[in-house]
Amino acid sequence: MDITPETKQLIASIQQLKPHYADPASALFLDFYCQCRQGCDYLFPPTVRETVRLVDILQWFFECAERGQPNNLVRLMWKDVAGPTLAEYMADEKIEQQLQAAFTTHLNQELESWDRTMTSSGNVKLLLKDLLNEIHQVEQSCAKSLT
């Protein structure tokens, strides 16, 4: 199973957001988002894959955290075999294992305060809103570069 070039480009761009979001929930969500995009390539035909929205992936993330394990759809998507090389496959499996561990341990606590954080200057940063906005911008940028 090959990940489409479009998805590879999107994932590479999304991963560049990680240094800007050091909090555990955001870092985990970025990995989850990328895993879901790969899983969509694996599981869905193009016409269905194109209908998966950022908010859908966010909902799946919260469902998995609440359940303490991947939901059935995510579990099916994680059956993908990402990459033609063993190293790529192993890296993919490692991310899935880290996500699975987070679902069973600390993630729910992190999600309780994911909406905002205090900056060192005492201001409030709308963490989740900012993250979703940046992901959306990356999605739009990648979509435009393909046309």
In the chain, where the domains are located? 5-146
The number of helix segments (H) and strand segments (E) in the chain equals 8, 2
Structural tokens at position 117: 């954080």
**Burial class, 28, CB count within 10 angstroms (exposed 0-12 / middle 13-18 / buried 19+):** buried
81 exposure class (CB count in 10 Å sphere: 0-12, 13-18, 19+)? middle
Res. 137 pLDDT band, cuts 50 70 90: very high
Q: What is the pLDDT of residue 86?
A: 82
Q: What is the pLDDT of residues 26-57, one digit of tens each?
A: 999 999 999 999 999 999 999 999 999 999 99
Q: Mean of the per-residue pLDDT values for the chain? A: 91
Alpha-carbon 47 to chain mean position: 21
d(CA 51, CA 86): 30
Which structure tokens are listed for 137?
């911008």
Assign 72 a pLDDT band (cuts: 50, 70, 90): very high
Residue 63 has pLDDT above 90, yes or no: yes
Q: How confident is the model at residue 81 (pLDDT cuts 50, 70, 90)?
A: low
Of 54-63, 111-120, 131-140, the poorest mean pLDDT is in 111-120
Q: How confident is the model at residue 140 (pLDDT cuts 50, 70, 90)?
A: very high
Mean pLDDT of 75-100: 84
